[in-house]
Chains A and B, each alone.
Chain A
């Protein structure tokens, strides 16, 4: 009995330590105090001022940039990753192994390395850095994750169904659209969500590819804000919102994965 309490206690302590920073921010997002740690009574003013136009123009801009970059990068990498996964699936087993290895390198590789190498690439090709380069960079590191989430769906698919579609008169494109895509759609959606979350919270790659034209995403905004001394209080409600949003996405992914196992 004591053993059980100890085991549970340890687990809860660990979770508390892990989540205490975000919980503190969430609590203090409901007060007006400028300095974190001072409680000046319950208020939702920070939330309203976050969304009020004009007051924090640059923060709102950064948020919009982050979301649009996330959506574009996730969409493009889902398309690219799906096509790549289908191609990889049709490879012979030996080549497929090599491909999987190559695909996993960017995933295991440090973000900082990807950031620096893309930075050098853009500089050496004389591409001026800005919105486009950030999007390209995000597509680069998101695509392998999409491949990784689509490939298992392909592997568990009955390999004959593609042939069955051709046999029934579908051209390869029609077979892809009407049979393969519906089969791997769950993997594509998981891949999209994964790519989106990876994109919105990326800092290392973004900071190297964002250039100096004044473009900001959330992560770079917070970073420069913090360096200017003191975080804007509106970051507290923003962090809370992002945390909740990511939590919801994660729950969706997990439930999809659970359903997949049942089927």
Chain B
């Protein structure tokens, strides 16, 4: 009863489309009056989540509460929410006034009330005097304003916005972002906003929910999300970053790119592998001197308007550096980073681990295929075991038939001197690969492993 502050509560919600999982055990609480943005790449489930709240989509498991009431079985027309659609979805046969009045007329309000409310909604979106215009004659930005007016005129508890600005040009989008923020302030209702544009999310939100592959990766304020990304996906998706493999040597001391740096994080333990994130604007770049923590050579320099974006190669790693000062390509430079600008993330996974079954003394079955392994006597046929394979020991083939099984490149992370790739195998397992080769998102690849790189260990309990 004390959680009454939450206007939306999403509890353990999952959604399956056939075998495909679109939402994977989502938990999310939205406070009354908050501006929450659900952010993620296309296909991450953000729109599915919004549509589940709006009621256009049933959920497979879990419950959704709005203002304390379970509504996951309630049809959309009885939910106290209104939606602004990506492609506006104005009614083409009605003029601006009748579009906005649509919901009010259904509620059987008096003519004067409707007139008054529509007028004030139009004023809200800066479209006074447009009442009797044909909606098809309006520009994209104007149509979107009408769509927003049509939703807010009903005074919903929650306004859901599904990439409402995606179809507008950049300048228009920036203006509308500010206007939406203003509107949110003056209306005082809760906004749930879906976008794939991280800059937009950082600009307008109180809280950002980062999603990927149907899971929530991180919930936090824009500043938290930017400065303290929870994992390498968030770090890569929000803004630009240098993400590198590192080792936490000791409290407040981390090693990456062959150099030890002071940092502010502690409690990881000693000599623990971690991911290190450094934002490009946090590097100090100068002509190489004694102050340099790392020395390197500028390999590319691009003018970006306010700053220059340079790539510095040092100790075999590439670093993206942003600075107001320009350094020539080929120039020897020094880099320095302040301890609090180094962000350390615990590594979720250190190597691939799969459930497996022994076929005979030199074959083992995992990922739905029989693999040759080193001859062994420890396990008998049919034994359930676990298999471990280091990221660098998975071989990817251009030609699908060369691999034991195939999969699609799902996520690519540049780690300064190699790529860390997530591959979704045909049976839905994630396979992680470190490689120097360049692959593209969506590439269909063959996957193979050499026998000597398969480690067979005792089966762990309920732990894949």
Contact = CB atoms under 8 A, between A and B. Distances in A.
Given A161-B89, A182-B93, A183-B93, A167 B107 contact: no
Contacts of A164: 83, 85, 89-91, 150
Interface in A91-132: none
Interface string A182-201: 11000000000000000000
Nearest to A263: B136
Contacts of A178: 102
Residue among A161, A168, A183, A263 with the most chain B CB within 10 A? A168
19 contacts: A160-B86, A160-B87, A161-B90, A161-B92, A163-B85, A163-B89, A164-B89, A164-B90, A166-B75, A166-B76, A167-B77, A168-B82, A169-B106, A169-B107, A171-B75, A171-B77, A178-B102, A179-B91, A183-B93
A188 B135 CA distance: 23
Contact of A163 (B76, B103, B136): B76
Contact of B103 (A158, A161, A168, A182): A168
Contacts of A168: 77, 82, 102-103, 106, 150-151, 154
A9 to B, nearest CB: 45
Contacts of A86: none
Contacts of B85: 160, 163-164
- Chain A interface main SS type: helix
A235 to B, nearest CB: 44
B154 A158 contact: no
A167 B54 contact: yes
A250 interface: no
B87 A170 contact: no
Nearest to A175: B77
A142 B81 CA distance: 43
A174 B106 contact: yes
A165 interface: yes
Residue among A165, A169, A174 with the most chain B CB within 10 A? A169
Interface residues of A, number: 19
B106 A158 contact: no
B56 interface: yes
B87 A167 contact: no
Interface residues of B, number: 26
Contact of A160 (B82, B89, B154): B89
Given A163-B76, A165-B91, 8 more contacts: A161-B89, A161-B90, A161-B91, A163-B56, A164-B91, A166-B77, A168-B106, A171-B77
Interface string A26-46: 000000000000000000000
A160 B76 CA distance: 13
Interface of B: 54-56, 75-77, 81-83, 85-93, 102-103, 106-107, 136, 150-151, 154
A185 to B, nearest CB: 8
A208 to B, nearest CB: 42
A161 to B, nearest CB: 5
A166 B235 CA distance: 38
B99 to A, nearest CB: 9
B309 to A, nearest CB: 39
Given A160-B87, A163-B83, A168-B82, A183 B92 contact: yes
Contacts of B82: 167-168
A230 to B, nearest CB: 54
Nearest to A182: B93
Contacts of B77: 166-171
Interface string A233-244: 000000000000
A171 B79 CA distance: 12
Contacts of A172: 75
Contact of A167 (B76, B90, B93, B136): B76
Contacts of B55: 166-167
Contacts of B150: 164, 168
A174 B91 CA distance: 14
Nearest to B56: A163
Contacts of B86: 160
Contact of B83 (A167, A170, A174, A183): A167
B7 to A, nearest CB: 17
Contacts of A183: 91-93
Contacts of B89: 158, 160-161, 163-164
A-B CB proximity, top 10 nearest: A160-B89, A168-B103, A164-B89, A182-B93, A166-B76, A160-B85, A169-B106, A167-B83, A166-B77, A161-B89
